[in-house]
Chain A
Amino acid sequence: AQSSFASSRKSRRKDWTKLIYATSLTPAEILQGEQEEGSGATEVEMDEEDFFQIKRTADAGQDEVLDQSKEALSAEELKKWEDEEMLESIRHLFITGDDNA
């Protein structure tokens, strides 16, 4: 369990203050760890000859994002916790657990 903790720590090194206040990245992009000057925005203007642009593509996927404070439980995230080892890996967070588990 210890090694998995170490690796997850290394992967995330962000300057949160800068990402939030000094960039125009969307919250989702910040969390996904996208680089600044994301590639997404430039692709839109490609087909100027096509008079009728199909606008659906962008809208269809995200029909309604609800303003909700309860994060939807992801099946994937829950699946992780079916594993004995995973359950044991957080024992150190409880008073009964060892300090350096």
Chain B
Amino acid sequence: MSSLLQFSGHQHLRHRLVLSILSGKHVRIDKIRSDDKNPGLRDFEISLLRLLEKVTNGTIIEISVTGTAILLKPGIISGGALSHDCPLSRSIGYFLEPIVMLAPFAKTPLQLTLRGITTDEHDLSVDLFRTVTLPHLQLFGISDGLELRIKKRGAPPEGGGEVQLLCPIVKQVKTLNFVDPGKIKRIRGVAHAVRVNPQFSNRMIESSRSILNRYIPDIYLYSDVYKGDESGKSPGYALSLLAESTTSAIHCSEAIFKPGVAPEDIGLEAARALMAEVNLGGCVDRKHQIPVLLMMVLGSEDVGRCLMSEPTPRTIQFLRDVKQFFGTSFKIVAAEPGSSQLLYSCYGTGYVNANRTLA
């Protein structure tokens, strides 16, 4: 039961920790940047470990003196009302992604307040998380009371944003059968501009529309306004877009401000990135392959199927790691001969939330 799995390197840390906690298997990760000038765990990784400690009960985390090796003995996922300050080296999205994979299997529903940077170029922004990641969880029956509230914006470098994640608990996740990508029927988006000219939002929206308007009329791009204390400590602006299909497949993109780049160009960048994502096809956006595949593994004892584009490098490693933790391997075949669309199928493990308090 308490078998120990070994990994090396700092990469893929988040999903390995998640898999360890879900499976109850101990995990040891060594050679964490051991050849780096500045070896060991980064502040955001330590912060993540602390957050996982808060969300769980009985978890033992041992970090070596040099910080280049950790041992995680997972406890149970407890959930409840919690708050956590994220370091400014990574945005809130970095922390939300692993948490949302654990929270449905907690003892009590999670109400987590996170403070820090709400949008940056590395991780999913809180907007994409709210409008795209959460609907992906709904595919698996995690829906009632699932919500992300964006209370304050926080642009890099100073941050100052605040969000609250509300996640219900489930007994079991549903088996996914999502093989029809459908056709795109609407495009939605959120633009925000804090501590800069509020017109920047509209300028991003206008320029992205110059590309998007040609396809469909049902486009609604919302300009999200934050004032005073709610707009964080640093100036910034960004546009996030999503395209939703007739079968509720969602593809998304995002572009954020860079020094010396006009809002118009940010708008165009977001729109073009959305087209690139749409063109890849499938029922699940590339950024959401991992959470979807994980929920498929945890699904009831039946064959789950999902049509997606090619796996990303992270997804490939995730699939390999899943096999180690859960023994589940996916069958991945072209949807039709020669097609770049791939059908991912696996037999669910029938994972049951044993932490849940019986009501």
Contact = CB atoms under 8 A, between A and B. Distances in A.
Interface of A: 8-10, 12-13, 16-17, 20-21, 26-28, 30-31, 55, 59, 64-73, 77-78, 80-82, 86-87, 89-91, 93-97
Contact of B332 (A12, A16, A73): A16
B2 interface: no
A90 B314 contact: no
Contacts of B94: 67-68
B215 A96 contact: yes
**Most chain B CB inside 10 Å of its own CB: which residue of A21, A30, A91:** A21
15 contacts: A13-B338, A16-B332, A17-B331, A20-B320, A27-B314, A27-B317, A67-B13, A67-B314, A69-B97, A69-B287, A69-B288, A78-B276, A82-B272, A93-B278, A94-B184
B123 interface: yes
Nearest to B13: A67
B255 A68 contact: no
Determine the interface band of chain B, counting residues with CB < 8 A from chain A: 35 or more
A86 B124 CA distance: 27
A31 B310 contact: yes
Contact of B12 (A67, A73, A87): A67
Closest 6 CB pairs of A and B: A27-B313, A81-B272, A27-B316, A16-B332, A68-B122, A95-B183
Interface string B175-199: 0000000011100000000000000
A55 B217 CA distance: 57
Nearest to A6: B338
B6 interface: no
Contacts of B273: 73, 77-78
B320 A95 contact: no
Contacts of A9: 338-340
Nearest to A24: B320
A16 B313 contact: no
Nearest to B254: A70
A69 B123 contact: yes
A17 B333 contact: yes
Interface string B232-276: 000000000000001000000011000000000000010111011
Nearest to B342: A16
Contacts of B254: 70
Contacts of B338: 9-10, 13
Contacts of B334: 13
A80 B317 contact: no
Contacts of A91: 215
A58 B166 CA distance: 44
Contacts of A20: 311, 316, 319-320, 330, 332
Nearest to B38: A64
Contacts of B331: 17
Contacts of B10: 67
A17 to B, nearest CB: 5
Given A17-B333, A78-B273, 14 more contacts: A16-B332, A16-B333, A17-B330, A20-B330, A21-B323, A27-B313, A27-B317, A31-B311, A67-B314, A69-B287, A77-B276, A90-B275, A93-B184, A95-B216
Contacts of A81: 211, 271-272, 275-276
